Amino acid sequence: MTDAVRTAGGPAPGRAGPGARRRRVQAFLRGYADYRPGVVASAVLALVVLLAVIRPVLGLSDPTAFSRDILVAPGSAHLLGTDHFGRDLLSRTLAGAQTALYVAVFSAALSLVLGVLLGSLAGHFGGWVDDLLSRIFDVFILIPAFFLLVLVVALFGSSIWLVILVIGLTSWPSSARIMRSQVLTYRTRGFVEAARAVGAGPVRLLARHIVPNGIGPVITNTTILMGQAILTEAGLSFLGLSDPNTISWGRMVFEGQAYLASSVWMSLVPGVALLLTVSCLNIAGDGLTLAFAPGGTGRIRRVTP
């Protein structure tokens, strides 16, 4: 039986030169490759992204086009079958993947930027700044994000970009807390103190020394937030609260409920796509957790008893 053991040590990870950065990247990739489920999950995610991006050039039928081939079972004519309006499920599933990717990437990017910025400020300056921002973190964590999203959609409409905005604005506190903890850890390190002694200001210290070395756990958390964002949008669509003009896995599952007894593939296909994508994101996050070693070296060694 093998265990993944993170190893620390070596020189302080301050601002490295090109050669050192290249070695750290190579070490990180080796560490990630050590976790085989993460490699498989990354390959699956890459395939999902690729198919979603190239869907328009695959020669598939229009995902919104009705036809007389109603509730056709998966076969040579329609690989994943058709729905109650004769729409091709393969084409619709890939279109739903595009929606899921939009939601995951843009909401997670917004959450990452806000979390890193506010967490860095709280951890670096401390005092009343830390107290104020920490209270803000607590307030946002207590907000029931899904119910807030339902309220916003009811008041302002169900635009997919509005959904992305709300998800991003309610999911950043976890990233901020992690970043704050990382800054508190790194701000007293020798390489940071040395940079401060030669006149580096707060922006330079954070941007060049602290954040690059402490960003690993935040990136790992972001993969989890991406999966949560996909599930949130799917849940909203399942309840019929999303934009009816946007193809979503959640809405596809909802539409297939009435046909579970006779045409189970209507709900099964998008449901499996949703489960597979979110699971792979979480597994990839586990791989990143292992690959990001203390100090940002990304080194993992295997120990076999």
187 within some domain: yes
Which range marks the domain in which residue 111 is found? 27-61+80-292
- pLDDT tens-digit profile of 118-168? 999 999 999 999 999 999 999 998 888 889 999 999 899 889 999 999 999
In a domain, 204, yes or no: yes
Torsion sign (Cα): 244, 248, 254, 259: positive
Tell me, yes or no, whether 45 lies in a domain.
Answer: yes
CA-to-CA dists, residue 278 to 30, 34, 230, 260, angstroms: 24, 21, 7, 23
Q: Is residue 249 part of a domain?
A: yes
Identify whether 10 is part of a domain: no
Q: Give the pLDDT band of residue 1 (cuts 50, 70, 90).
A: very low
Q: Output the domain CATH number for residue 48.
A: 1.10.3720.10
Tell me the C-alpha to C-alpha distance, in Å, between residue 159 and each of 91, 102, 105, 165, 214.
22, 12, 16, 10, 35
Residue 123: count other Cβ atoms within 10 Å of its Cβ. Answer: 26
Kindly report, residue by residue over 165-218, the tens digit of the pLDDT.
999 999 999 999 999 999 999 988 888 889 888 888 889 999 988 999 899 999
Specify if 136 maps to a domain.
Answer: yes
Distance CA 296, CA 91 (A): 41
Answer whether residue 101 is part of any domain. Answer: yes
Radius of gyration of the chain (CA): 23
pLDDT score of 12 more than 70: no
pTM reported for the whole predicted model: 0.86
Task: Let me know if residue 71 belongs to a domain.
Answer: no
295 versus 275: which is more confidently predicted? Answer: 275
Across the chain, what does the average pLDDT equal?
87
Number of domains, the chain: 1
